[in-house]
Amino acid sequence: MKNTLEKKWVPYLLITPTILFYIIFWFRPVLTAIIYSFFDESNIFTLNNYIYIFKDPFFKQAVFNTTIFVVISVTLEFLIALSLALIINKKFKGSQILLSISLIPMALPAVAVGAMWSSGFASYGWINSILYHFGIIDANHKILFLAGNDFQSLMLIILIDAWQVIPFMMVILLAGLQSIPKDSIEAGYIFGGTKFTVLKKITMPMLKSSIQTALILRIISAIQVWLIIVMIYGYRRIPVLLEEVVFYKKQVLGFYRVALAYSVIVSIIVSIVSIIYLKVSGPSKGRKYKCTKVNHIKKYYIQHYFI
């Protein structure tokens, strides 16, 4: 009886340090931020911080820009990352070199990416210098990359962000592809499936858990984008949600509590989007992918895919 009780408590003892860490360094700061967001600078309870945010015209613009950024960037990055993962998974000659080169942008911090591209897109930046060197432009007709309207500027940020983030999604999808039993794919071709049919009805369903992981992580990080935008365009040229948090905390004196309220709103939005996505995508069905004998695979795929 004593040994049974000891074994019962061992798992809880092992996770105790992790629980304490989250309580001290995560739960307590989050709870403090939520509480202080309902108080003004004189520590008087008020809803004015939230009222101010919802009346702020930059809030509506930030929500709109963030939504556009998330929808376009996540879709674009997923399609390109999936294509690269499928290509590299073929393990052709030079695929490892391609993989190594593809991972370089992911290794760069956001500050370095922002500094590199902000200097590149400047009027006398390295991009115009390269174009001038190859005779594509002349000295009097430099391309003003940063002079576009708000939508064009947002598209430019999406391209820069995609350059850095695509390798992250590609690695997750590539890991999922490499975990798919080869017998399953081969069976699809043996029993008459085309490349598109095998991809659509065998590979993609078996890759569902990896796709869910890649998309949910990317959606969360896309909602929180701000540093690259600020480094290239500055504050409030293309307002987004997390940029507004930093703006009120760093740039405006006496609005620290408004920044806390903004951070609470952003956290709620991230949580709602994550829950909605998980509900819509649904749990992985866990179909019979573990069968390895050809006759079992044949029976399964004929019944479920090729009829």
Looking at residue 294, what is its pLDDT? 45
Residue 111 has pLDDT above 50, yes or no: yes
Looking at residue 27, what is its pLDDT? 87
CA-closest candidate to residue 52, choices 244, 251, 234: 244
Q: Report, as an integer, the average pLDDT of 293-303.
A: 47
Centroid of chain to Cα 149: 25
Contact 203, 83 (CB under 8 A): no
Phi, psi of 39 (to 5 degrees): -130, 150
Looking at residue 283, what is its pLDDT? 61
Cβ neighbours of residue 33 under 8 Å, at least 6 residues apart?
Answer: 260, 263, 264
pLDDT tens digits, 71-92: 999 999 999 999 999 999 988 8
Residue 286 has pLDDT above 60, yes or no: no
Beta bridge partners of 45: 39
What SS3 class is residue 140? coil
**pLDDT tier at 3 (50, 70, 90 boundaries)?**
low
Residue 173 has pLDDT above 50, yes or no: yes
CA-closest candidate to residue 56, choices 219, 270, 247: 247
Taking the C-alpha atoms of residue 127 and residue 133, their distance in angstroms, rounded to an integer, is 10
End-to-end CA distance of the chain: 56
CATH numbers and ranges of domains, the chain: 37-304 (1.10.3720.10)
Looking at residue 293, what is its pLDDT? 42
CA-closest candidate to residue 181, choices 293, 84, 290, 82: 290
Q: Which two tokens stand for residue 59?
A: 């809030």
**pLDDT tier at 23 (50, 70, 90 boundaries)?**
confident
Q: Report, as an integer, the average pLDDT of 10-17.
A: 85
pLDDT tens digits, 182-230: 888 888 888 887 888 888 888 999 999 999 999 999 999 999 999 999 9
Contact 119, 125 (CB under 8 A): yes
pLDDT tens digits, 121-169: 988 899 999 999 998 888 788 898 998 899 999 999 999 999 999 999 9
